[in-house]
């Protein structure tokens, strides 16, 4: 996880994200998604805006989770005595052993 999550607010995190390599990686990831679906790949500037928009939504969700706690869904595997926890809001996941 990148250092921009050390910032105190969503806005500060988003600003730091825009200067991080993660933005470039996300733009590449979006471009790959378009290509894999045989969709027309939008101009780079649009991909950039889309990546930032998605990141803002995720950061806002994450901030909610930080103040209210994750919305965890548990999927138990009784045979192995493990559970997978997954947060519907921010996508956080955890694998636990009982
Ligand atoms: Zn969460």
Whether the pLDDT of residue 86 is over 60: the answer is: yes
CA of 43 to the centre of ligand 1 (A): 32
Whether the pLDDT of residue 1 is over 60: the answer is: no
Tens digits of per-residue pLDDT, 13-69?
999 999 999 999 999 999 999 999 999 999 999 999 999 999 999 999 999 999 999
Question: Locate tokens 């200067």: which residue?
Answer: 19
CA of 56 to the centre of ligand 1 (A): 14
CA of 27 to the centre of ligand 1 (A): 24
**Burial letters 8-39, b for 16+ CB under 10 A, else e:** eebeebbebbeeeebbeebbeebeeeeeeeee
Distance CA 52, CA 35 (A): 19
CA of 72 to the centre of ligand 1 (A): 7
């Amino acid at each position: 996880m990148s250092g921009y999550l050390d910032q105190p607010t969503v806005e500060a995190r988003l600003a730091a994200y825009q200067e991080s390599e993660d933005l470039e990686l996300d733009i590449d990831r979006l471009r790959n998604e378009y290509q894999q679906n045989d969709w027309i790949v939008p101009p780079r500037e649009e991909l950039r805006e889309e990546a930032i928009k998605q990141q803002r939504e995720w950061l806002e969700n994450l901030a909610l989770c930080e103040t209210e706690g994750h919305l965890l869904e548990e999927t138990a595997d009784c045979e192995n005595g493990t559970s997978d926890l997954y947060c519907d809001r921010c996508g956080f996941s955890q694998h636990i052993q009982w």
